[in-house]
Structure 1
Amino acid sequence: MPRTYVITGAASGIGRTTARILIDRGERVIGVDLQGTDVSGDLSTPEGRAAAAEEAGRLVDGAVDAVIACAGLSIPQPITASVNFFGMTEFLEALQPALTRSEAPRVALVSSMASMQPVVPALVDALLAGDEGVAGEIATRMADDPRTANVIYPSSKRAISRWVRREAPTARWAGAGIPLNAVAPGTVVTPMTEDLLASDDGRAMTDAYVPMPLNSHQGPESIAHLLIWLTSVENTHCAGQTIYCDGGADAVLRGDDVWSWNDEAMRETFAEIGAELQE
């Protein structure tokens, strides 16, 4: 029995590649994008998201097996924050009831290696608070300052990865049997990055921020296949994760120890226990 997928950003890049692979496998895909897909919708506005989700829900007759949110922007403008965060979260929340009607519902989003880069905490906090007005004001000020304009994108991706981690264990998602996860690509060769990668300087700057020792820059298929597995029936317990499919960039940038952040607290706890045992 074919599964039914709704994919945002299906007109280009990772979304288009994911949709093509699924269709070739015999799955049913409802694509969402500004144009050229089954559903035309503007995910940068609340009205556009609601209308797109409503139309997608109508096309799947109120029941969908998986939603893959790929739509995103990387331009240094406030619209990037709106699309990358609210264009994912509000769209997914609108389709959550349709997902509950599936026997094996799944959700996956596209985050980014940029989520590990410096961010503006105030923007991240506003996004996570669900306050699009405040987030827009902060992003507008950031866009007007050359020191912070390019930080809108990583801030939006940090927020989306944190949202996934926060929401995945809740009653709405895990409690309803819906695994919710994200994939963080490294540098993917798509229309979004082609201008940046076209010059030696652009490639050098990109590789400095996202070093990829395994096979260098990646094609969209590398992300598509992981998104497809996360939204397959085989994924029964992976939840709340941002999986870094990045050619080793995360390992290079964060090193071999991502566990010891809580060691000091544990040392204090064990010291207290030791003192109690000696009394």
Structure 2
Amino acid sequence: MRPPAEFIRPGYRGSGKLENKVALITGADSGIGRSVAIHFAREGADVAVMYLSESDDAEETRRLVEAEGRRCLLVAGDIRDVAFCREALDQVIETFGGLNVLVNNAGTQQVCTDLAELDDELWRETFATNMHGMFYLTKAALPHLGEDDAIINTTSVNAYIGPDFLVDYTATKGAIVSFTRALSNQVVGRGIRVNAVAPGPVWTPLQPATLGAHDPQMLEDFGSDTPMGRAGQPSELGPCYVFLASLDASFMSGQTLHLNGGMVVNG
């Protein structure tokens, strides 16, 4: 990527907010997920990184986590596969002895400006990756979570603004908001907090691979329509996930935090 993405906020100092916690993060081989993994490690957590197939990127995430003095487990596979999600959870528990934080971050998008041309299979695959995988993994994780543990789901500003060129993706992100609210109400009595983060435009590999591939101008203008006039960096999101994972957010559940460059979405 040019320019390269930034993954850790300059000057960010850990303070033990996640000391000896275990976190599982999907889609953590790059982008927002990698930033979350590094920030969690700097706060004292061991991290399991789930990813599809980008082994070199995943190894770089592991290097960065281990540079913070924490352990890192790489788990490669497809979250659309319920059996894989269950096996991944078993591997995390076997390796680390428990689980405290689940970050459902993996996602995909493809540009389509006409619903009549949106392929049926693409619609199903977008939901399978963005929503079904979240369900499978959360269901497998819940028996291992307890008092003061947390689930954090990555939704999107698109769930609130409804861009016309990402109908299927936007529909999944709206589903994630509702899933977050309903699940929060279901498990709050067990002391488990469930929240979401709704990023605006963030400079990650997903953007050149999708928006840029469709229309280079979309990539050139990426983020310019925010009040801040720019896209965010993954490093600017990592600390938000730290907040939601830690006891700093002990009185917050069922909520969505909006890191979107100043867009007011009233959500």
Same fold (TM over 0.5): yes
Deviation of 1:45 (Å): 2.1
107-116 vs 188-197, which deviates more? 188-197
Say whether residues 1:97 and 2:143 are aligned partners. yes
Separation in 2 of the partners of 1:12 and 1:155?
24
Alignment equivalent of 1:67, drawn from 89, 102, 105: 102
Say whether residues 1:39 and 2:75 are aligned partners. yes
Change in Cα spacing, 1:23 to 1:215, as seen in structure 2 (3 Å) is farther
Deviation of 1:215 (Å): 5.4
Say whether residues 1:52 and 2:66 are aligned partners. no
Change in Cα spacing, 1:152 to 1:205, as seen in structure 2 (3 Å) is farther
Deviation of 1:205 (Å): 6.5
Deviation of 1:96 (Å): 0.8
Partner AA of 1:65 in structure 2: N
**TM-score with structure 1 length normalisation?**
0.71
Kindly indicate whether the alpha-carbon contact (under 8 Å) linking 2:223 and 2:229 is maintained by their aligned counterparts in 1: no
What is aligned with 1:20? Answer: 38
What is aligned with 1:268? Answer: none
Separation in 2 of the partners of 1:167 and 1:48?
22
Kindly indicate whether the alpha-carbon contact (under 8 Å) linking 1:41 and 1:51 is maintained by their aligned counterparts in 2: no
192-201 vs 176-185, which deviates more? 192-201
Alignment of 1:24-173 (within 5 A): 24-35=42-53, 36=55, 37=58, 38-61=74-97, 63-75=98-110, 77=122, 78-100=124-146, 103-118=147-162, 150-170=166-186, 173=187
Separation in 1 of the partners of 2:161 and 2:43?
36
Secondary structure of residue in 2 paired with 1:64: coil
What is aligned with 2:198? Answer: 184
Kindly indicate whether the alpha-carbon contact (under 8 Å) linking 1:57 and 1:95 is maintained by their aligned counterparts in 2: no
Partner AA of 2:75 in structure 1: V
What is aligned with 2:116? Answer: none
Separation in 1 of the partners of 2:158 and 2:258?
11
Separation in 2 of the partners of 1:53 and 1:25?
22
Deviation of 1:31 (Å): 1.1
Alignment equivalent of 1:230, drawn from 244, 248, 258: 244
Segments of structure 1 that go 5 or more residues without pairing to the other structure are: 120-147, 260-279
What is aligned with 1:244? Answer: 258
Alignment equivalent of 1:8, drawn from 7, 19, 26: 26
RMSD: 2.5
Separation in 2 of the partners of 1:59 and 1:75?
35
Separation in 2 of the partners of 1:88 and 1:40?
16
Separation in 2 of the partners of 1:14 and 1:207?
16
Separation in 1 of the partners of 2:212 and 2:234?
15
Higher relative contact order (CA 8 A, sep 6+): 2
**TM-score with structure 2 length normalisation?**
0.74
Q: What is the percent sequence identity of the aligned residues?
A: 26
Kindly indicate whether the alpha-carbon contact (under 8 Å) linking 1:42 and 1:52 is maintained by their aligned counterparts in 2: no
**Higher Cα Rg, which structure:** 1
What is aligned with 2:7? Answer: none
Deviation of 1:164 (Å): 0.5
Change in Cα spacing, 1:215 to 1:177, as seen in structure 2 (3 Å) is farther
Deviation of 1:155 (Å): 0.5
Deviation of 1:99 (Å): 1.1
Give the length in aligned residue pairs. Answer: 218
Segments ≥4 residues shifted beyond 4 Å: 197-200, 203-208
Deviation of 1:17 (Å): 1.4
Partner AA of 1:71 in structure 2: A
Partner AA of 2:77 in structure 1: G
Kindly indicate whether the alpha-carbon contact (under 8 Å) linking 2:48 and 2:75 is maintained by their aligned counterparts in 1: yes
Kindly indicate whether the alpha-carbon contact (under 8 Å) linking 1:180 and 1:239 is maintained by their aligned counterparts in 2: yes
What is aligned with 2:12? Answer: none
Deviation of 1:175 (Å): 1.0
